[in-house]
Structure 1
Amino acid sequence: MTVVEALRERAKELFSAACTAADPAHALRAALDTNPPPRPDPGGSYLLVAVGKAALPMAEAMLGHLGQSAREALVITNYENARDLPGARVIAAGHPVPDENGARGADEVAALLSSATGEDRVIALISGGGSALLPAPAEGLGLSDKAEVNRLLLAHGFEITEINLIRQQLSRLKGGGMLRIAAPAPVTAYILSDVIGDDLRVIASGPTVAPIGTRAEARALLEKRGVWSQLPAPVRAHLERARPDEPPSPQATNILIGSNRKSLEAVAEAAAGLAPQIVSDQLTGDVADAAKIVTDSVRSVPKGRAACLIFGGETTVTLKGDGLGGRNQELALRVSLSMPDLGRDWVFLSGGTDGRDGPTEAAGGFVDAGTATRIRAAGKDPDALLANNDSNAALAAAGDLLVTGGTGTNVADVQILLLGP
């Protein structure tokens, strides 16, 4: 095995450690040791709603904790992660593009929550992906309207906080909607963060917390970014209407059980002996800028010893072509094309901890100094593919796609740069 081959295998092992650290069942059980849900009042019972890519393992762990106490449990997750779960109804729905199954699941969530009484206790299990998996269009909007808004926001490089500010204004469940529907039942939420900085208003668009902003702020942002005129007419009409006065969202107990930072720390622990260093847990913004941060980071690492540089975050891609890929694949491709000649072996991995990067089967990519050569040897032009946002085809040609399958968790993205001596 060559040095590069060994580094590639080690990079995959370290990425696996990142995903294991975010195991939703383990994280939830640990949280329940210190923060169990309050017991229902006499005559009441537990109502359990789990939403997101990690919904199933979280629901399974919670049902194990509650025993036979749950009156009803409803799980909404993505198709790849869906499976039967005794004691719960499981609905598989579309991600990242919302679909009719998600809309049906949202209606069932709303119906279950509206049945809650003051004696009941609602438990919400929230994880990344919940925004797309639980589309509940506001009155006057259709699922196609929300899908088109989602497409436009992704195509124009909106960051996750901006996206969820807008999503919350178009939904019955986001931005504290679950709390309003469940009232007067108290709500306890256990949250696995896929958002850098762990802003609870942003994770799954904050169904159990106050909204990020207002309709007016959402409209101002869309106008500033030049997207307003492209929105479906019903969406523009909805955002132009003054929001009826509403009382503040009911309070909830929100408990954060896992995050990207915890996964980066797990990588550092697993990389002992490689001088691990968490360079940034805020690798956000445009993917081209993120690639430069990665390639610039090698300047501080002297030759003569191996090193492991660790990053975490969630970048954005501005679509300029019609190719297929995702932010992790494009970041990996950009690094492979812009990394200076280091005079040493290196491998860079960028992957989504949920095992899915964009609308592809890959979690991301892992590249080395020979990536561009392998792409050209396959008869393709890596620069042209990059210009067309076709990172998936480029990395496939090089044999550099990172394919893990669904991991059952989602704590944003992890990047690992391994340097040989």
Structure 2
Amino acid sequence: MDKRRAEALRIFEAGVKAADPYAAVAGALDDVDPPALIVAVGKAARLMAQAALARFSGVTCLVVTNYENAAPLEGATVMAAGHPVPDANGAAAAKAVIAALHAAEGPVLALISGGGSALLPAPAGALTLADKAKVNEMLLGSGLDIVAMNLIRQQLSDLKGGGFLRHAAPRPVTALILSDVIGDDLSAIASGPTVGPIGTAQEAILLLKEAQLWAAVPQAVRQHLETVQEPVALPAARNKLVGSNAKSVAAMKEAAGAAHLIAEPIIGDVADAARLICDRAVIGTTVWGGETTVVLQGSGRGGRNQELALRIAVEAERRGWVAWTCLQGGSDGRDGPTDAAGGLVDQDTLGKITGLDARLANNDSYAALDEAGDLLLTDATGTNVADLGVMIRSG
């Protein structure tokens, strides 16, 4: 690995380390009352729970996380579930969490991280898991941002949008939250199980119509959204943010030394984001964070980070750059339904790819980057604070 690639990877790893779930929770427990129940959900759930159990031993603890991050944890029941598309194991885990909330004999400590929305599918009303999985699959390729997707998901769930609090009541709930949402809207992280809903059923209908999905979602979903009653007021909860994308980007800037920071989060369509990044990248090192979107037009494999990395390579070549390296990756170590975290590209990437235009049109960024040998392959990191990027440019 050449020097620029090694340096980009080192800076990225500093950002991931800043989102360490164990340290984030351990540093936030001093003013938390001993709980009777700990529920940890999300991609960072296992490490968050481990930190809580180091402080509060002998407490009933349920952990729900994705398959890559699931491993036994002393003192806890660990349940693995599907992400990003919900599955039957997630539905079973949701039932177990609801039962534990009803059985708790005192305060509840919730440990929440990104991915929790898909990992705890508790269909509302007469909806089925298949209904929810179908909607979730459609949302992932819709181009809607994470807040809009979570608004819709909340309206289809018995746990999201504050549903966790209703099942816990009258037991007090404290939630420590690791944010994967740009802007750190607590109601959007994991679809806000301990926070009020982002919006209403009518707003969910409007978003589905604007995304041209309304006619395609299952009939049961349309019926539910058109007839559901607005929920009563939520019980109070104490919600505390313990980690975020902004904190990780700041850590990358510090690790890089004299790096230029793109201050605003990189969001929106990947093609627009690639142009913005190249507009802002300076000679030297540039870092950023965010979470882009992809409107799926084809049947290829990939994810938003892989496609953004590939489009940055296209944009850099168009501008005549001759000496640069860019890393674009998911802080969780996984990008879309693949084993890659993103892409690590440079001035030589495009020359190693055949049929580039067709692959971009087919959203087949994984195959393109794999051919170039430029996939960013990491283990699952055990955390999730959205996406991180580094550009090192000398010409």
TM-score of the superposition, structure 1-length normalised? 0.91
Report the equivalent of 2:372. 398
2:371 corresponds to 1:382? no
Deviation at 1:341, TM superposition (A): 4.2
Judge conservation of contact 1:196–1:281 (CA < 8 Å) in 2.
no
What pairs up with 1:319-398 in 2 under 5 angstroms?
319-339=296-316, 340-342=318-320, 344-375=322-353, 380-398=354-372
Report the equivalent of 1:291. 274
Q: Distance in 2 between matches of 1:281 and 1:359?
A: 27
Report the equivalent of 2:93. 105
Report the equivalent of 2:179. 193
Deviation at 1:280, TM superposition (A): 3.3
Report the equivalent of 1:37. 32
Report the equivalent of 1:42. none
Q: Distance in 1 between matches of 2:380 and 2:6?
A: 19
Deviation at 1:420, TM superposition (A): 2.3
- CA offsets 1:108-136 (integer angstroms, 9 cap, x no match): 0000011134xx00000000000000000
Report the equivalent of 1:59. 49
What pairs up with 1:183-262 in 2 under 5 angstroms?
183-244=169-230, 246-262=231-247
- Is the partner of 1:229 in helix, strand or coil? coil
| Partner AA of 1:259 in structure 2 | S
Deviation at 1:225, TM superposition (A): 2.2
Q: Distance in 1 between matches of 2:87 and 2:267?
A: 28
Report the equivalent of 1:419. 393
- Is the partner of 1:204 in helix, strand or coil? helix
Deviation at 1:242, TM superposition (A): 3.8
Q: Distance in 1 between matches of 2:296 and 2:96?
A: 35
Q: Distance in 2 between matches of 1:242 and 1:319?
A: 30
Q: Distance in 1 between matches of 2:267 and 2:195?
A: 23
Judge conservation of contact 1:354–1:412 (CA < 8 Å) in 2.
yes
Deviation at 1:342, TM superposition (A): 4.8
Judge conservation of contact 1:116–1:183 (CA < 8 Å) in 2.
no
| Partner AA of 1:8 in structure 2 | R
Report the equivalent of 1:171. 157
Judge conservation of contact 2:36–2:104 (CA < 8 Å) in 1.
no
Deviation at 1:281, TM superposition (A): 4.0
- CA offsets 1:40-90 (integer angstroms, 9 cap, x no match): xxxxx511100000000000000001123x1x1100000000000111100
Unpaired segments of 5 or more residues in structure 1? 40-44
Q: Distance in 2 between matches of 1:234 and 1:97?
A: 19
Which stretch shows the higher mean deviation, 411-420 or 216-225? Answer: 216-225
Which stretch shows the higher mean deviation, 213-222 or 54-63? Answer: 213-222
2:115 corresponds to 1:129? yes
Judge conservation of contact 1:97–1:147 (CA < 8 Å) in 2.
yes
TM-score of the superposition, structure 2-length normalised? 0.97
2:256 corresponds to 1:271? yes
| Partner AA of 2:217 in structure 1 | L
- Is the partner of 1:280 in helix, strand or coil? coil
Runs of 4+ in structure 1 over 6 Å off:
none
Q: Distance in 2 between matches of 1:365 and 1:261?
A: 21
- How many equivalent pairs are there? 394
Report the equivalent of 1:282. 265
Judge conservation of contact 1:179–1:187 (CA < 8 Å) in 2.
yes
Judge conservation of contact 1:51–1:76 (CA < 8 Å) in 2.
yes
Deviation at 1:247, TM superposition (A): 2.5
Q: 2:124 aligns with which of 115, 123, 138?
A: 138
Q: Distance in 2 between matches of 1:20 and 1:76?
A: 22
Q: Distance in 1 between matches of 2:210 and 2:277?
A: 30
Q: Distance in 2 between matches of 1:343 and 1:171?
A: 48
Report the equivalent of 1:89. 77
Unpaired segments of 5 or more residues in structure 2? none
Compute the RMSD of aligned alpha carbons: 1.3
Report the equivalent of 1:13. 10
Which stretch shows the higher mean deviation, 333-342 or 80-89? Answer: 333-342
| Partner AA of 1:257 in structure 2 | V
Q: Distance in 1 between matches of 2:350 and 2:267?
A: 25
Judge conservation of contact 2:322–2:347 (CA < 8 Å) in 1.
no
Deviation at 1:13, TM superposition (A): 0.9
Deviation at 1:344, TM superposition (A): 4.6
Q: Distance in 2 between matches of 1:277 and 1:31?
A: 31
